[in-house]
């Protein structure tokens, strides 16, 4: 029976409204408990003058599966960077934008993160994702499953058969052992199979006679019918195109009247850095983050994440195949596209974000503007959309930028004047505090995923004993002035504790337990399932390259599963 007492830390636990109180955190058998009676076997950590937070949670990152591997294949140069030799307990690491599986787990843990969700799993390739999940040490995982361009989805939406759509989602989550509904450029992935794209929310998808707007609202209704723990998770149409902020706001408006089936948002819109763009072309390109933040300030049915741009190398990867093709043409760089049979598409483009290239400078500002102009800190999550905006190892840089207007000013001196003229960033004085950062790096991620009742993102009794202790004293450090100290502290936590076990001490991995995998098992009425399966059997016979019986991910592919039940009736 292992017991641990973390004494006198300054605790930031927003889900339990604890804002920097000096408290003890007690741990027994891998869970947080109200109290423990000290015995000679109890380990005690003196955390006075240190910050204690729940383990970090990342609701949107690309850590495993076919796209990540396309990125690795395309970037042999990347695997020559970030080399870390094996130690007695760790396996060798390599890579920066697309690190190997071991590095994914160790580096997240070294930043104080204990739970990470992969944001795009095609059902057909889910087995591969789970094989890699099994290889990524320490962190707990889950995955969002692509539904936005699937034939079955578009047909059910066209027939206005939301029950059948819900049955397909339930089946797809079970087939992929996935957690939630991801939608990427709805309709566009399928259109790309015919060399086309959709030009907006109300454009008809070729051959399917449905619009992106209908796909999004249909999936949102089905998502709520199923009472899924997470809302729909959306990569908007026209992402990566100047002027797309109008589509982004129009998309949020579409969903204003949908009632969530639980206490959470109706839609999570991801990587706002690429969605809040004004202008009509690259010449008059500008930020419209203020318009998006204005909308968020008046509506609580939407949450977003930053997808913050980090200057330097990135490997962009997304199910938005046509967008990636456009990117590759624009940048005259190498690219790859993938087609996932009846389900979706994908594209991978390695690139560099360069300072003083005003388009990149403006994109860098957009993510920060959205985070700083949106009043409710719970509404905007800190991400870099790893590795699309940049690798996740740069989160401490983003934290420092959010906490320090001075740091932002210092950074802006290195960027183009057009960035100052075409964004509002230089006029923003807001500086986030430690509580805001705890919200944006763990509490809000767990809340929007529906994981707080499953032990994540907080330090209340019975939560998983995932705890991070940072070497920084909020009484002595003025984050606005001493931003370098802040960045350093978040880069190298004193301790990361996973399920009550020390996995990191002072930046060194000390244990490598295997993580769990969350997935959602949703039930639907038998008659809906029967109608669905009749359709699916036909599709598999006619169009799929594999048999239905070989398609489902078997349980033995899923390491340490945690199955969350959902379902309508
Ligand atoms: Zn993403």
Phi, psi of 143 (to 5 degrees): -145, 145
Residue 108 within any structural domain of the chain:
yes
Per-residue pLDDT, 1: 54
Distance 148 CA to ligand 1 centre (A): 14
> Is residue 28 domain-shared with residue 113, that is, in the same domain?
no
> Which residue's entry shows tokens 């989805």?
153
Per-residue pLDDT, 403: 98
Per-residue pLDDT, 442: 98
Closest by alpha carbon to 153, among 13, 3, 384, 342? 342
Residue 567 within any structural domain of the chain:
no
Distance 472 CA to ligand 1 centre (A): 31
Distance 502 CA to ligand 1 centre (A): 30
> Is residue 393 domain-shared with residue 475, that is, in the same domain?
no
Closest by alpha carbon to 348, among 312, 318, 323? 318
> Is residue 69 domain-shared with residue 98, that is, in the same domain?
yes
Q: Which domain holds residue 480?
A: 3-54+454-509
Report CA torsion sign: 521, 526, 532, 535.
positive
Distance 249 CA to ligand 1 centre (A): 19
Distance 30 CA to ligand 1 centre (A): 31
Distance 382 CA to ligand 1 centre (A): 13
Distance 271 CA to ligand 1 centre (A): 7
Distance 269 CA to ligand 1 centre (A): 10
> Is residue 190 domain-shared with residue 125, that is, in the same domain?
yes
> Is residue 352 domain-shared with residue 490, that is, in the same domain?
no
Other C-beta atoms closer than 10 Å to the C-beta of 59 total 28
> Is residue 205 domain-shared with residue 226, that is, in the same domain?
yes
Q: What's the average model confidence in pLDDT over 97-125? A: 97
CA atoms within 13 A on the CB side of 25: 36
Distance 387 CA to ligand 1 centre (A): 8
Q: What's the average model confidence in pLDDT over 517-531? A: 97
Q: Which of 490, 509, 528 finishes a domain? A: 509
| Residue 2 reports pLDDT greater than 90 | no
Residue 446 within any structural domain of the chain:
no
Question: Please, which pLDDT band fits residue 194 given cuts at 50, 70 and 90?
Answer: confident
Distance 235 CA to ligand 1 centre (A): 8
> Is residue 50 domain-shared with residue 68, that is, in the same domain?
no
Closest by alpha carbon to 266, among 307, 305, 234, 289? 234
Dump pLDDT digits (tens) for 417-451.
999 999 999 999 999 999 999 999 999 999 999 99
Question: What CATH number does the domain containing 500 carry?
Answer: 2.30.40.10
Phi, psi of 560 (to 5 degrees): 45, 60
> Is residue 386 domain-shared with residue 473, that is, in the same domain?
no
Residue 516 within any structural domain of the chain:
no
> Is residue 467 domain-shared with residue 496, that is, in the same domain?
yes
pTM above 0.75, yes or no: yes
Dump pLDDT digits (tens) for 322-372.
999 888 888 888 999 888 899 988 888 999 999 999 999 999 999 999 999
Distance 65 CA to ligand 1 centre (A): 13
Distance 388 CA to ligand 1 centre (A): 7
Distance 462 CA to ligand 1 centre (A): 31
Q: Which of 7-11, 141-145, 194-198, 296-300 has the lowest mean pLDDT?
A: 194-198
> Is residue 69 domain-shared with residue 172, that is, in the same domain?
yes
Q: Which of 491, 509, 527 finishes a domain? A: 509
Residue 417: partners with Cβ closer than 8 Å, 6 or more residues away: none
19: region left, alpha or beta (phi > 0 left; psi from -120 to 50 alpha): beta
Q: Which of 430, 445, 467 finishes a domain? A: 430
Domains held by the chain: number: 2
Distance 307 CA to ligand 1 centre (A): 8
Distance 151 CA to ligand 1 centre (A): 22
> Is residue 41 domain-shared with residue 111, that is, in the same domain?
no
Dump pLDDT digits (tens) for 540-550.
999 999 999 89
Distance 86 CA to ligand 1 centre (A): 30
> Is residue 120 domain-shared with residue 31, that is, in the same domain?
no
Structural contact between residues 220 and 555, judged by C-beta atoms closer than 8 angstroms? no
Distance 319 CA to ligand 1 centre (A): 9
> Which residue's entry shows tokens 């991978």?
348
Percent of the chain with pLDDT over 90: 89
Q: What's the average model confidence in pLDDT over 380-391? A: 98
Distances (CA, A) of 244 to 250, 278, 306: 10, 7, 16
Q: What's the average model confidence in pLDDT over 480-489? A: 98
Measure the CA–CA gap between 422 and 277, rounded to whole angstroms. Answer: 11
Distance 98 CA to ligand 1 centre (A): 14
Residue 382: partners with Cβ closer than 8 Å, 6 or more residues away: 305, 306, 308, 371, 395, 398, 399, 402, 437, 440, 441
Q: Any idea what DSSP says for residue 282?
A: S
Distance 18 CA to ligand 1 centre (A): 31
Distance 383 CA to ligand 1 centre (A): 9
Distance 171 CA to ligand 1 centre (A): 23
Distance 389 CA to ligand 1 centre (A): 9
Measure the CA–CA gap between 188 and 154, rounded to whole angstroms. Answer: 12
Dump pLDDT digits (tens) for 316-327.
998 898 999 888
Question: What CATH number does the domain containing 276 carry?
Answer: 3.20.20
Per-residue pLDDT, 237: 97
Helix (H, G, I), strand (E, B) or coil at 506: coil
Report residue 339 as tokens.
């087609």
Residue 540 within any structural domain of the chain:
no
Other C-beta atoms closer than 10 Å to the C-beta of 413 total 6
Q: What's the average model confidence in pLDDT over 278-290? A: 98
Structural contact between residues 25 and 46, judged by C-beta atoms closer than 8 angstroms? no
Distance 473 CA to ligand 1 centre (A): 34
Report residue 408 as tokens.
């932002």
Distance 270 CA to ligand 1 centre (A): 7
Residue 380 within any structural domain of the chain:
yes
Residue 293 within any structural domain of the chain:
yes
Distance 316 CA to ligand 1 centre (A): 9
Residue 245 within any structural domain of the chain:
yes
Measure the CA–CA gap between 353 and 337, rounded to whole angstroms. Answer: 21
Distance 532 CA to ligand 1 centre (A): 29
Distance 4 CA to ligand 1 centre (A): 37
Mind spelling out the 3-state secondary structure of 227-247? CCCCCEEEECCCCCCCCCHHH
Structural contact between residues 437 and 475, judged by C-beta atoms closer than 8 angstroms? no
Q: Report residues near ion ligand 1: CB below 5 Å.
A: 119, 385
């Amino acid at each position: 029976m292992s017991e641990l007492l973390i004494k006198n830390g300054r605790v930031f636990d927003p889900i339990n409204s604890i804002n920097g109180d000096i408290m003890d955190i007690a741990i027994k058998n891998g869970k947080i408990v109200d109290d423990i009676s000290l015995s000679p076997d109890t380990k005690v950590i003196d955390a006075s003058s240190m910050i204690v937070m729940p383990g970090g949670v990342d609701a949107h990152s690309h850590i495993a599966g076919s796209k990540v591997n396309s990125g690795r294949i395309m970037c042999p140069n990347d695997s020559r960077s970030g080399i870390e030799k094996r130690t007695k307990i760790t396996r060798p690491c390599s890579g920066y934008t697309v690190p190997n599986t071991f590095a994914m787990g160790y580096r997240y843990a070294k930043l104080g993160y204990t739970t990470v969700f992969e944001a795009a799993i095609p059902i057909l390739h889910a087995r591969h994702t789970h094989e890699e999940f099994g290889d990524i040490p320490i962190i707990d995982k889950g995955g969002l499953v692509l539904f936005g361009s699937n034939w079955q989805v578009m047909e059910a939406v066209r027939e206005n058969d939301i029950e059948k759509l819900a049955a397909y989602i339930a089946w797809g989550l079970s087939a992929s052992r996935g957690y939630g509904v991801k939608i990427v450029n709805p309709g566009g992935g399928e259109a790309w199979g015919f060399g086309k794209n959709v030009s907006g929310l109300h454009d008809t998808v070729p051959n399917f006679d449905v619009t992106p707007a209908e796909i999004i609202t249909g999936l949102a209704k089905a998502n709520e019918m199923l009472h899924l723990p997470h809302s729909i998770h959306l990569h908007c149409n026209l992402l990566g195109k100047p002027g797309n902020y109008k589509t982004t706001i129009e998309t949020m408006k579409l969903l204003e009247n949908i009632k969530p089936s639980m206490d959470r948002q109706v839609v999570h819109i991801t990587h706002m850095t690429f969605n809040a763009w004004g202008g009509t072309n690259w010449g008059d390109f500008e930020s419209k983050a203020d318009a998006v933040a204005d909308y968020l300030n008046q509506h609580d049915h939407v949450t977003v994440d930053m997808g913050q741009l980090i200057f330097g190398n990135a490997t962009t990867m997304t199910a938005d195949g046509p967008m990636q093709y456009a990117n590759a043409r624009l940048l005259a760089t190498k690219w790859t596209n993938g087609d996932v049979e009846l389900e979706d598409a994908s594209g991978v483009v390695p690139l560099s974000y360069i300072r003083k290239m005003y388009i990149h400078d403006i994109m860098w500002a957009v993510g920060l503007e959205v985070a700083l102009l949106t009043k409710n800190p719970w509404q905007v999550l800190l991400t870099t959309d790893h590795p699309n905006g940049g690798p996740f190892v740069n989160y401490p840089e983003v934290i420092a930028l959010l906490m320090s207007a001075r740091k932002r000013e210092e950074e802006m001196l290195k960027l183009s004047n057009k960035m100052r003229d075409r964004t509002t960033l230089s006029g923003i004085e807001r500086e986030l505090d430690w509580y805001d950062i705890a919200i944006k790096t763990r509490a809000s991620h767990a809340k929007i995923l529906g994981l707080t009742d499953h032990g994540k993102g907080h330090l209340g009794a019975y939560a998983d004993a995932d705890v991070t202790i940072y070497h920084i004293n909020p009484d002595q450090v003025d984050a606005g002035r001493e931003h370098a100290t802040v960045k350093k502290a978040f880069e190298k936590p004193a301790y990361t504790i996973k399920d009550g076990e020390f996995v990191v001490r002072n930046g060194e991995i000390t244990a490598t337990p295997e993580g769990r995998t969350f997935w959602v098992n949703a039930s639907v009425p038998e008659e809906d399932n029967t109608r669905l399966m009749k359709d699916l059997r036909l599709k598999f016979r006619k169009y799929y390259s594999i048999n239905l019986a070989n398609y489902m991910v078997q349980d033995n592919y899923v390491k340490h599963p945690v199955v969350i039940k959902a379902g309508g009736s």
